[in-house]
């Protein structure tokens, strides 16, 4: 648990003092790999759960449970959104960023935290939907 706490503290901390645009970009890019590992592992776990929930689901020939191409496109889309985080922090005017009602230096950690949460919601949403349908079928409330 201590390791998790130290990792989270590092992930969402910003060094004191003024930061240049390059410092902001570097801060984000150093965190890209841990971010991708977290979202990727969550995605793999979500897929295992999803396939567990649909194992007994009658699927008509030619029908998919979702759009399979999204499995390949999602990592690119998630990383484009991740890149948008440092673009906004580094290049948008301070007045715009301060409208988020937080210190300018805390914008990056806030964007990163919210982006990570949103990414995990997107990754787990199909699994949650199919899990609810599975539970309803198990309870006899759905065929």
Main-chain dihedrals φ then ψ at residue 32, nearest 5 degrees: -60, -45
- pLDDT value of position 87: 92
**Is 11 a member of any domain?**
no
**Is 6 a member of any domain?**
no
- For the chain, the domain total comes to 1
**Is 3 a member of any domain?**
no
**Is 110 a member of any domain?**
yes
Which range of residues forms the domain containing residue 104? 19-138
Question: How would you write the pLDDT of the chain (143 residues) with one tens digit per residue?
Answer: 899 999 999 999 998 888 899 999 999 999 999 999 999 999 999 989 988 888 877 666 656 666 667 778 888 999 999 999 999 888 887 766 667 677 778 889 999 999 999 999 989 998 999 899 899 988 988 77
CA 37 to CA 101: how far, in whole Å? 30
Q: What is the DSSP string of the chain?
A: -HHHHHHHHHHT---SS---HHHHHHHHHHHHHHHHHHHHHHHHHHHHHHHHHTTT----TT--SS-THHHHHHHHHHHHHHHHHHHHHHHS-HHHHHTTSS-GGGHHHHHHHHHHHHHHHHHHHHHHHHHHHHHHHHTTS--
**Is 125 a member of any domain?**
yes
**Is 10 a member of any domain?**
no
- Do 65 and 54 meet the contact criterion of CB atoms below 8 Å apart? yes
Main-chain dihedrals φ then ψ at residue 57, nearest 5 degrees: -75, 125
**Is 1 a member of any domain?**
no
**Is 94 a member of any domain?**
yes
């Amino acid at each position: 648990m201590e390791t998790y706490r130290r990792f989270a503290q590092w992930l969402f901390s910003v060094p004191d003092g003024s930061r240049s645009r390059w410092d902001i970009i570097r801060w984000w890019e150093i965190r890209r790999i841990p971010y991708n590992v977290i979202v990727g592992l969550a995605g793999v776990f979500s897929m295992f759960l999803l396939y567990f929930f649909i194992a007994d689901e009658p699927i008509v020939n030619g029908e998919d449970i979702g759009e399979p191409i999204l499995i390949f496109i999602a990592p690119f889309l998630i990383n484009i959104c991740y890149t948008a985080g440092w673009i906004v922090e580094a290049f948008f005017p301070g007045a715009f960023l301060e409208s988020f009602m937080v210190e300018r230096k805390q914008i990056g950690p806030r964007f990163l935290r919210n982006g990570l949460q949103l990414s995990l919601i997107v990754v787990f949403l199909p699994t949650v939907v199919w899990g609810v349908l599975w539970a309803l079928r198990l309870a006899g409330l759905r065929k």
